[in-house]
């Protein structure tokens, strides 16, 4: 079932909640892949009713980014989401979410939205937290599911939950990779075959970093250098950042001691890919 308006979705979910059912939300921008489907399957295990939202959110794209080009295929997404366990797909239009007079944003302050992806995408997280907050208000879920591939996004959303006392449980699920190692992403569709092959350097360099850390390397600078050197050998790759931060508070660390995020963003042609590992 696809619902494209807020009120009927609320009515449907309120009906479920009145009978004591637990509601899980999987927010997505559609063009679903195995990563999304793993979130939906997990949500189905842990909730009675699963709502999947499919909304390419304009406020998280800067004017020069790929909002228009972002891949969309609602018929395919609906079939895949339903098969994975979604009870309802919420697919609103832009005017339903942002009526012409809407002017309110939810913004997590401090440094955590300015570092990593926030440096090259300064308005991105404000768009994400605004729309996620809307989706939480509309769906009122018990649990909401996000992927670790967007590790900074998950950390920012968790901070918003704490700061605004939203009583929702966030579940962050592992990155799903192609057998080649490439992290699944709707944006992989933009890659030419040559770029796709070149992009394997991302997961390879992160895996090498993980091995070095497992062998005792604790210097963030050494780990970042090692990854940077490996990616720089790939002529198609243009590095945006390679960074080592504490997780989930996202402070740059010199030593890998507690929970640490090793994250990167790299461009291949016009496509910007992100990937990461979290060291426990």
Q: How far is Cα 247 from Cα 146, in angstroms, rounded to an integer?
A: 16
Nearer to ligand PAF, 60 or 220 (CB): 60
| C-alpha atoms less than 13 angstroms from C-alpha of 257 in its C-beta half-sphere | 5
Q: Is 36 a catalytic residue?
A: yes
Q: Which residues, other chains included, contact 279 with Cβ-Cβ below 8 Å and sequence gap of 6+?
A: 210, 213, 256, 259, 260, 261, 262
Residue 69 CB, nearest approach to ligand PAF (Å): 15
Among residues 29 and 191, whose Cβ is nearest to ligand PAF? 29
User: What is the DSSP secondary-structure string of 241-260?
Assistant: EEEEEETTT--B-SB--SSE
Where along the sequence are the contacts to ligand PAF (CB under 6 A)? 27-29, 57, 60, 128, 131-132, 150, 153
Give the Cβ contact number of residue 64 at 10 Å.
6
The C-alpha atoms of residue 243 and residue 185 are separated, in whole angstroms, by 20
Nearer to ligand PAF, 57 or 220 (CB): 57
Residue 129's φ and ψ, nearest 5 degrees, are -65, -30
Identify which of residues 90 and 268 has a Cβ nearer to ligand PAF in the complex. 90
Residue with tokens 């350097």, as numbered in its chain: 201
CA distance to 52, 118, 211, 256, per residue, from 214 (Å)? 37, 29, 5, 11
Q: Which of 33, 36, 91, 124 is catalytic?
A: 36
- Minimum CB–partner distance for residue 211 and ligand PAF (Å): 29
Residue (54 or 227) nearer to ligand PAF, CB: 54
The CB-of-230 to ligand PAF minimum distance in angstroms stands at 27
Check the CA dihedral 15-17-20-22 and report its sign: positive
* Closest distance to ligand PAF from the beta carbon of 220 (Å): 26
Smallest separation (angstroms) from ligand PAF to the CB of 26: 9
What backbone torsions phi and psi does residue 158 show, to the nearest 5 degrees?
Answer: -65, -35
Give min distance, CB of 127 to ligand PAF, in A. 7
Give the β-pairing of 260-268 and 237-246.
Answer: antiparallel
Nearer to ligand PAF, 29 or 138 (CB): 29
Answer whether 107's CB lies under 8 Å from 113's CB: yes
Active site residues: 36
């Amino acid at each position: 079932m696809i619902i494209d308006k807020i009120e009927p979705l609320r009515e449907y979910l309120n009906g479920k909640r009145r009978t004591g059912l637990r509601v899980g939300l999987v927010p997505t921008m559609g063009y679903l892949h195995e990563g999304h489907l793993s979130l939906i399957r997990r949500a189905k295990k842990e909730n009675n009713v699963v709502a999947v939202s499919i909304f390419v959110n304009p406020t998280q794209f800067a004017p020069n980014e790929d909002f228009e080009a972002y891949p969309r295929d609602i018929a395919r997404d609906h079939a895949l989401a339903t098969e994975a366990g979604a009870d309802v797909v919420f697919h609103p239009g832009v005017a339903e979410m942002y009526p012409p007079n809407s002017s309110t944003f939810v913004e997590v302050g401090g440094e955590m939205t300015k570092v990593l992806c926030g440096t090259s995408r300064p308005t991105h997280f404000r768009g994400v937290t605004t729309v996620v907050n809307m989706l939480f208000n509309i769906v009122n879920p018990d649990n909401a599911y996000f992927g670790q591939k967007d590790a900074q996004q998950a950390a920012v959303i968790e901070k918003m939950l704490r700061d605004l006392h939203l009583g929702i449980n966030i579940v962050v699920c592992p990155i799903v990779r192609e057998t080649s190692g490439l992290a699944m992403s709707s944006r992989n569709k933009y890659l030419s075959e040559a770029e796709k092959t070149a992009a394997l350097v991302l997961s390879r360099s992160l895996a090498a970093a993980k091995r070095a850390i497992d062998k005792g390397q604790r210097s963030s600078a050494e780990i970042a250098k090692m990854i940077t050197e490996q990616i720089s050998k790939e002529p198609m790759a243009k590095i945006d950042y390679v960074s080592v931060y504490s997780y989930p508070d996202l402070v740059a660390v010199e030593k890998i001691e507690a929970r640490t995020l090793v994250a990167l963003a790299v461009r291949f042609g016009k496509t910007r890919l992100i990937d990461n590992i979290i060291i426990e």
